[in-house]
Amino acid sequence: MKQTDLVLTPTHLRFRNRRFPCTIGRGGLTTRKKEGDGATPRGTHRLVGMLYRPDRMARPADWALPIGPSDLWSDDPGHEDYNMMVRAPYPHSHERLRRADPMYDLVILTDWNWPYPVKGRGSAIFIHAWRGSGRPTAGCVAFRPDHLRWIAARIRHETRLVIA
């Protein structure tokens, strides 16, 4: 592991010599991730993108892309767009990226089951804002919004999410 890695431990995340409280999936950690299990997959995951709400915040990094009103994430394992960003209108199962709450104001995308998804292995694992301390996610890793912004501004091309 390198100093530039985001390292998830049982109690927090380490990054650049700092510790951050975080939440993980309601299903805990797993080595056998499945769609809908609510678990956070163990392993070393590359960070492959960053999305943000330009109507709610300044661009957090020069490579971050804005989330628009029609941006969605396909979570339909039976469709060819599974685990990919898609646009509305989209008749298949999906998650809206532009939410009323602040949870997805800033989203860091990992390479979990991407770019060539295996159907049923679980859709995206995002790094995003938490709903509150101790409130689990559907499998993602989540932080206090101010901590997430601090982390996002310091991510580099070589940064990885390491979940042991």
Residue type for position 129? A
Q: What percent of the chain has pLDDT over 90?
A: 93
- Could you give the number of structural domains in the chain? 1
Task: Read off the CATH number of the domain in which 119 is found.
Answer: 2.40.440.10
User: How confident is the model at residue 137, as a pLDDT?
Assistant: 97
| Residue-range definition of the domain harbouring residue 139 | 6-68+95-163
**Does residue 86 lie within any of the structural domains?**
no
Q: Give ∠ CA 107-44-152 in degrees, rounded to 5.
A: 30
What secondary structure letter does DSSP report for 23?
Answer: B
Q: Encoding tokens for residue 141? A: 């890793």
User: How confident is the model at residue 124, as a pLDDT?
Assistant: 94
**Does residue 1 lie within any of the structural domains?**
no
**Does residue 13 lie within any of the structural domains?**
yes
Q: Is the pLDDT of residue 17 over 90?
A: yes
For residue range 61-79, list pLDDT tens digits in order. Answer: 999 999 999 999 999 999 9
Instruction: Over range 6-32, report the average pLDDT.
Output: 95
Q: Is the pLDDT of residue 90 over 90?
A: yes
**Does residue 141 lie within any of the structural domains?**
yes
137 backbone dihedrals φ, ψ, rounded to 5°? -100, -175
**Does residue 88 lie within any of the structural domains?**
no
Q: Encoding tokens for residue 98? A: 């532009």
